[in-house]
Structure formats: structure tokens, C-alpha cells
A and B are shown apart, each in its own frame.
Chain A
Amino acid sequence: MANISRRTLIKTGAAAATLSAIGAPVLAADKIKIGFVFLGPIGDYGWTWAHNQARLMVDKELGDKVETVYVENVNEDASAIPVIRDLAKQGCKLIFTTSYGYMDQTIQVASEFPDVKFEHCTGYKRAANVATYNSKFHEGRAVLGTISGMMSKSGTIGYLGSYKVPEVVLGVNSMALSAQKKNPNAKIKLVLIDSWFDPPKEAAATQTMINLGCDIVATHTDSPGPLQILEQKKLYGFGQGADMSKFAPHAHLTAIEDYWGPYYIQRAKAVLDGSWTSTDTWDGIKEGTVRFAPYNKVMPDDVKAAADAIRKGYMDGTYNVFTGPIYDQDGKLRVKEGEVISDADLAVMDWFVKGVETAS
């Protein structure tokens, strides 16, 4: 492939070659191009890795109708604009921008290309040709919290987070509330390390939480580093974003898997058949965006059953961890008995529930 194109190019001359690169590449009429903008390297084994796995699923499922391209390591600054625009210029009909920090850039480029459909992950700004999508990771955290509440001997659970953003706040609260249903005295120690990816700091933070009495540590940062520390200490934790059991066969109880593939395929099909509209999708366990790695065999059967019950509750819509009464850190009642926090309120949650210990 590479050789053929090179030979052709040499024949036609450099100038012409350059021109052909600028214009929209010639594709089979029915084949559409789909672009992906990635925050990290596809080898991060975390956030970007999961999005790239989903891209590969699109290739596999719709390979005869679509062609996918991606750009990795794209900063969340103004330089994302040319990257997104370039994908549109190259003829992409559907572009996924897979980090919150591309929000304004996506909106800006989308206004220049009304015929191109854009999908922005985790943001909230939409336009006629910009849809948003996110995953209800906190539903997964309710399962992890249930497991932790039952398996933690000390009742103190560590939570390693990145920044105080709604996604992390929701995860912490979901974890705390679900753990407290199994152990009313369960506490969560939260450490935010001001980064999504810093293996040495993630490792040190995990050691710190262990020393402060945590015997289970959940991670909301992207590296498997914390799991490796837990493995060495013979304690328990969970994979983040993907099945990380091979990093810690003993410590890895289960993992929340970011499973974007079905959504990506669905949206690609919508573009192919012309049914695409701008939507705001917030899928979770029910829709299959949040999945779980197989349970570790060290988990007792009653714990497995309790975890499955939560999953089933989300599948059939009978369970929601954010059901009152919910008290905040100061002990004030924030959600009355029987009330459920709406999705709209969840999306902007910035307060922690009772039992969460943190410095921020």
C-alpha cells in the first residue's frame, strides 16, 4: 500500500502530490470517513485506550462502509482547533472529540462545517451538528461501593481521584453511599492528585491511603499503578476504564470498563443512513456503556450476589444509588427520603456526601 502510493506520487510529481493531499481524498462513494481526536496516547491503557478500542470496533463492524482516522496526544488548548478542522477538511463526516477540554473548540469548528456531524464526549454544549455523550460511570461505582462496603475490614475505603470535576464527585459519592448501605460506618478517604496520569504519584498516594487505614482503594485516574501497589500489599482495588486484572491478579476485584463501541457504531450507522440528529446521551449499565470485568474468584458468593443485584437494579431501572435520604459532609440533609437526584442535578454535583474525607 505504502509503496504503491509512493510510486504514484513520484510519477505525478511532488507539487501535484501535495495538492492531492489538500483536497478531499477520493474514497469509494459509499465509504465515509470518521475522525477521532484523542487526549492521550492510544497506549495509555486508560481513557484514550478505551476510546481507541471502540474505534477498532467500528472498523471491524463497519469496515466496508467506513474508514477511521485518529489524532492522539492532542492538547486541550487552541491547537485542538486545527486538528479538528483538519479532520473535517479531509472529508470526515463524523468526528468524535473525546475529552471535555475540546468542548469550545468542537463547537467552533462545527459552526464552520454544517455538513459534518460532531460528537463531543463529556461536554454539555450542543449545536445542530454537535451531539454530546457521556457514560454513567457512577453507576459502576455503586457496584464497586457495594463490594467495598462488604469486603473492607477497616470500613475505610480509599478513593484516588484526579480533579474535582462532576464525574469524580459523582463517583466518590456513589461509592460512599453504596458502601454505607452495606456498612453504615464506611468512610471514604479521597485524594485528588491534580493529574489524570502520573504513575509515581498515583502509587505514592495509594501507599498513603493504605497507611491511613484503607484496605480497598478505588482509582479514578488512568494508570494501573495503584493496583500494582495493592497487589504488593495483598489488598484490593478495581480496574479503571478497562480490565486490568493482569496487572494485579489478586488485588483486581473487578473493573469498570468504558465500552464506547456500541455507541460509536450506532452513531456511525446513523450518519450512514442519514438519521443522525444532535442528541445528549448519558448511557450507563443498562445501555452497556458501563461494563464490568469478570469478578475475582477471591470475592465471596454473597458479595458477588450483592454486586449482581445492583447491576440488575440498574438494568431494569429499579435501583438508583442517589435516592434519599442523603446527607452532605456537614451532616445536613440534602435529599429527602424517597427523593431521587435528577440527571440534570447529578451532572453538576459539586458537594460530597457524609462519610467522605477530603482536603478540598
Chain B
Amino acid sequence: MRIKLEKRPAPSVAMMVLTPVLSVLLTMLIGVIVFDFLGVDGFGAVRDIFLTPILASYKWQDVAVKAAPLVIIALGLSVGNRAQVWNIGAEGQYIIGALFAAGVGIAAGDLGGPFVVLAMVLAGILGGALWAAVPALLKTRWDVNEILSSLMLTYVAGQVLGYLVGGPWKDPNGRNFPATAPLHDNQVLPIVFPGTTVHLGVIVALILPFAFWWLMARSMFGFQVRVVGAAPQAARHGGFDTKQTIWLALVISGAMAGLAGAFEFTGALHAINLGFPSGYGFTAIIVSFLGRLNPIGCLIAGVVLAITYVGGQVAQTTVHIPSSTAGIFQAMMLFLILASDIFIRYRIRFVSRRPQAAAVAGE
């Protein structure tokens, strides 16, 4: 008997839902065994990484706040990735978005209120979009690879942040530490549930996937993006402008990263220091692919990844696993989820050798 992979006529919807769930369960099972083998309380580790963030209601807000920027950035990246435009500089656009928001906040001085906050958020969107427009311009005008330019600009963005918070925007009351002054109370994003850290950005992160789903599935733009990504030649014949798609893909993903940066600044941190860039823009790339470039998928994947981050830190204190082990565990889960994708397009057949022999004999 041997195992044979057989292509399904159409991707299996059941598997699309089932495999990620099974992968997570398998990760948990392997985790219990491997952690025990390593001399750690395996059951406790797995429980804290996966279940505590879900079952302990006080951890929900942490998961939500952690997931929000991941989901928002991943949504934008999914658009680009569908069009085969590879923006891997979302981290830089996230930084610039936050800086634009901070610039508006500083310019507003003591002014506050909904309009100032709205202006800050819009400035964040603009900043992210502008930073992503550079790779778009280079790509469409001189055919400069956007993977390279967007990544390089992330490092540049980090230096822009360093210059601003250590120089012109340094908090005058901040003891000369490189950081902006904390936002006034009337300049911060409102908290949705009093007594928690869940800011308005989290709610937006919950709504946006549905807006993107509509955009991609129902609008002409969504169709254009999918066609350009799937078959550039055909797209050109169909009258779609490839350059326009590149522009839109990059600008939209940049705008989303900028929005996430503005939310993180106005909603969660209220000041920008050198530690502000902490990798959301890179992690969101994984979220985007884990969510299969589907807006709703991005929402789920963002939450799952946020759970493992939050849970990984819980497990550090409860069962004392080092953060590196939590990282390995997270990677293992990603590997399993990605590997199980095959069951969506293929089914496994156990084929015995006998019928084959019979067929030969029958000839």
C-alpha cells in the first residue's frame, strides 16, 4: 500500500476551515510532548500559550490590542500580494504614519478633540501612503524592484524617527531622552470599553476586513487586482493598467500600515520613542499569507498570532519557558498551518499495489 496525493477538482472549503484548526491542535499536542521532553511542564506551557489568552477574559484586551495593527497592516499587504506587488516595507510605512500623526499632534499644540484626533489619523494614512509611493514611483518609472526599495526605506524610516524624536520633536520635559512628549488627554484615541486598553483602532480593525472583503470581491478594483496578479498579460489585453495597479497596491498597503502606526501611537502608546518600531510590519506579512490573502482570513490569522505572542509571554512567567522556546513554538505552528494547505487542493488516497498489478496482467 502507498500514499498518493490526488488533486481535488476544486479547493475544499471544508479543508480550508478544518486544516488550520487541526494544525493548531497538532501543534498543541506536539508542544506537550516536546516541552515535557525538554523538562518543561508541557501541559502548562501549551495551556498558557493557547488557552489562557482565550479563556482568561482579562487577556482579551491584550490580544485585541496586539492583533489590531497586525490585522490592519495585513489587509493592505494582501491587496498588494494579490497583485504580485511585494511590499515588504510596511514596517517603515508604519513608522512614518505614526510620525505624521505625531507631527499633526505637535502642530495642534494644546488643541484637541475629535477633529484633531481624526486629523492625526488621516495624517498617518497619508504618511504611510506617501512612504509607499516612493517604491511605487521607482517601480513604475524606472522598474526598480519594490522588494528592495521598500525594505531599504524601512531602515531610512527608522533613522527619520531617530532624528525627529532625538532632535526637533524631543520632549522638552523628557529629561533629554529621545522621545516625543506624551499626547494631551484630548488628543488620544478614545477607549471603547472603559477600564480597558481597547481603543477605537481595535474596532476599526474589526470592521475593516469586511470593507476589504467587499472591495476585493465585489468592486471593479478588486477584480482588476486579481486579474493583474493572476495573469499580467491577459490584464493588459483586457485594458487594465498594470502601472495603476502597482500604484494602488502599494499606496493602499502603505496607507493601511500608516493607519496602524497612527492608531498605535494615538491609541496605545501616546508617545513615540526609539522602541516604537517593533516589527508589526514584518509579522503582518506572515499574517497576510496565513490568512490566504483573504481579508477575513487576515482577521483570524492576526488574532491567532496575537494569541501566541500574548500567550508566549504568559508562559514565560508561569512555566518559565524562555522566549526563544516560545518563538520556536510559534514557528512550528506556522509551519504546520502552511504545510496543511496541501489538503485544500489535494486529497490523500491510500492505494494498494494489487489493482495496479491486476491492470498490468489484464493487458
Interface residues on A, range: 35 or more
For residue B274, which residue of chain A has the nearest CB? A163
Question: Which of A17, A89, A104, A350 interacts with B271 by CB under 8 Å?
Answer: A104
In angstroms, Cα B309 to Cα A83, docked, is 11
Q: Are B178 and A104 in contact (CB under 8 A)?
A: no
Interface residues on B, range: 35 or more
In angstroms, Cα B316 to Cα A25, docked, is 15
In chain A, positions 319-356 with a C-beta closer than 8 Å to chain B are: 347-350
Quote the shortest CB–CB distance from A191 to chain B (angstroms): 15
Quote the shortest CB–CB distance from B165 to chain A (angstroms): 10
Quote the shortest CB–CB distance from A74 to chain B (angstroms): 7
Q: Are B47 and A17 in contact (CB under 8 A)?
A: yes
Q: Are A90 and B317 in contact (CB under 8 A)?
A: yes
In angstroms, Cα B65 to Cα A239, docked, is 40
Q: List residues of chain A with CB within 8 A of the CB of B52.
A: 18, 21-22
In angstroms, Cα B147 to Cα A116, docked, is 47
Q: Scoring B residues 313 to 328 as 1 if CB is less than 8 Å from chain A, else 0, what string do you get?
A: 1101111101110000
Q: List residues of chain B with CB within 8 A of the CB of A10.
A: 43
Q: List residues of chain B with CB within 8 A of the CB of A79.
A: 62, 65-66, 278, 309
In angstroms, Cα B315 to Cα A70, docked, is 10
Question: Which of B61, B175, B274 interacts with A101 by CB under 8 Å?
Answer: B274
Q: Are A77 and B275 in contact (CB under 8 A)?
A: yes
Q: List residues of chain A with CB within 8 A of the CB of B51.
A: 14, 18
Of the candidates B58, B65, B175, B323, the one having the most CB atoms from chain A within 10 angstroms of its own CB is B175
Q: Are B313 and A9 in contact (CB under 8 A)?
A: no
With an 8 A cutoff between CB atoms, is A249 at the interface?
no
Q: Scoring B residues 294 to 329 as 1 if CB is less than 8 Å from chain A, else 0, what string do you get?
A: 000000000000000110011011111011100000
With an 8 A cutoff between CB atoms, is B162 at the interface?
yes
In chain A, positions 83-137 with a C-beta closer than 8 Å to chain B are: 83, 85-87, 89-90, 100-101, 104, 124
In angstroms, Cα B197 to Cα A341, docked, is 41
With an 8 A cutoff between CB atoms, is B264 at the interface?
yes
Given A18-B56, A35-B317, A348-B175, is A41 in contact with B62 using a C-beta cutoff of 8 Å? no
Given A5-B44, A6-B44, is A348 in contact with B176 using a C-beta cutoff of 8 Å? yes
Q: Are A86 and B178 in contact (CB under 8 A)?
A: no
In angstroms, Cα B32 to Cα A2, docked, is 12
Q: Are A70 and B55 in contact (CB under 8 A)?
A: no
Q: Are A41 and B197 in contact (CB under 8 A)?
A: no
For residue B57, which residue of chain A has the nearest CB? A22
The 7 A-B pairs with the shortest beta carbon distances in the complex, nearest first, are A76-B275, A78-B268, A82-B62, A75-B278, A101-B275, A73-B323, A2-B41
- New A-B contacts (10) at CB < 8 Å, excluding given A21-B44, A21-B52, A41-B322: A2-B319, A6-B42, A18-B55, A21-B47, A41-B323, A76-B274, A76-B275, A347-B175, A348-B176, A349-B176
